[in-house]
Amino acid sequence: MTALFVALAFAAPGQFVALDRVDPTILQDMRYATSYNFVGRRIDGYREPVCILTRKAARALRRAQADLQPKGYGLKVYDCYRPTRAVEQFARWAANLADQKMKREFYPRVDKRRAFELGYIAHRSGHSRGSTVDVTLVRLPPRTQPAWDGRLRGCFARYRRRFADNGVNMGTGYDCIDPRAHTSDPRIKGRPHRNRMRLKRALERRGFEPYANEWWHFTLRDEPYPEKYFDFPVARDSLR
């Protein structure tokens, strides 16, 4: 069996790029560089709100974007490459039962101790390999994305009662730790279901594999680093 290993480095390999250098039309809403996420604070290793991916994954997203634009849609990413130190922070968060700061919005009906068991977080994340992306659809031209106002709202509340994300209605908000976030959850019907399927088809057509437990999560099938996990910071100066 080939050993998996973590590359401890402060600079990314040459195959990594900033997504906006490949396609500046793809919107970025990098939640882990802010306090608006299920942990409730900026995540370790996220020095800048920039999407970094392998060049191969970024080019595949560019092709998906080009497919969607004539139909009146575009892509918006929430997370891209994720350092292993961030994954370790998620594990510490799951083990700290006293920390329920963001429960009302992100996991109102799930015991955080079960986050690993239920497949919402992992001890090793495909994001750390650089070819996994969390992404949604926006209608074109996109509405302005407001800054988070600090209020918590249930992630599976009705669309207009959730935080005013400029993405289309997917039935839940991003990073909703709940079965309703499963791509094919039967309770998600009508337009939200069609939106999920539109995103899924667009990404699959360009070589991405969906993750059944999270409608937003896709990994490039032929990724350049299938067994290597990185820990360089999310920052432009990490790129060579």
pLDDT digits (tens, 9 = 90+) for 69-105: 999 999 999 999 999 999 999 999 999 999 999 999 9
pTM summary value: 0.94
Catalytic residue among 88, 214, 223, 227: 214
The whole-number pLDDT of residue 1 equals: 36
Average the pLDDT over 168-181 and give the result: 97
Residues 58 and 20 sit within 8 Å (Cβ to Cβ)? no
214 among known catalytic residues: yes
- pLDDT tens-place string over residues 179-217: 999 999 999 999 999 999 999 999 999 999 999 999 999
What is the per-residue pLDDT for 92? 95
Beta-bridged to residue 228, according to DSSP, are 5
Specify the pLDDT at position 120. 86
pLDDT of residue 2: 40
Q: Does residue 3 surpass a pLDDT of 70?
A: no
pLDDT band for position 240 (cuts 50, 70, 90): confident
Query: What's the mean per-residue pLDDT of the chain?
Result: 94
Kindly report whether the peptide bond that precedes residue 141 is cis, defined as omega within 30 degrees of 0.
Answer: yes
Instruction: Read off the pLDDT of residues 136-168 as tens digits, 9 standing for 90 and up.
Output: 999 999 999 999 999 999 999 999 999 999 999
SS3 annotation, the chain: CCCCEEECCCCCCCCEEEHHHHCCCCEECCHHHCCCCCCCCCCCCECCCCCEEEHHHHHHHHHHHHHHHHHCEEEEEEECCCCHHHHHHHHHHHHCCCCCCCHHHHCCCCCHHHCCCCCCCCCCCHHHHCCEEEEEEEECCCCCCCCCCCCCCCCCCCHHHCCCCCCCCCCCCCCCCCHHHCCCCCCCCHHHHHHHHHHHHHHHHCCEEEECCEEEEEEECCCCCCCEEECCCECHHHCC
Identify the pLDDT of residue 6.
Answer: 55
What average pLDDT score do residues 26-43 get? Answer: 98
pLDDT greater than 90 at residue 114: no
* pLDDT value of position 226: 97
> What share of the chain has pLDDT > 70, as a percent?
96
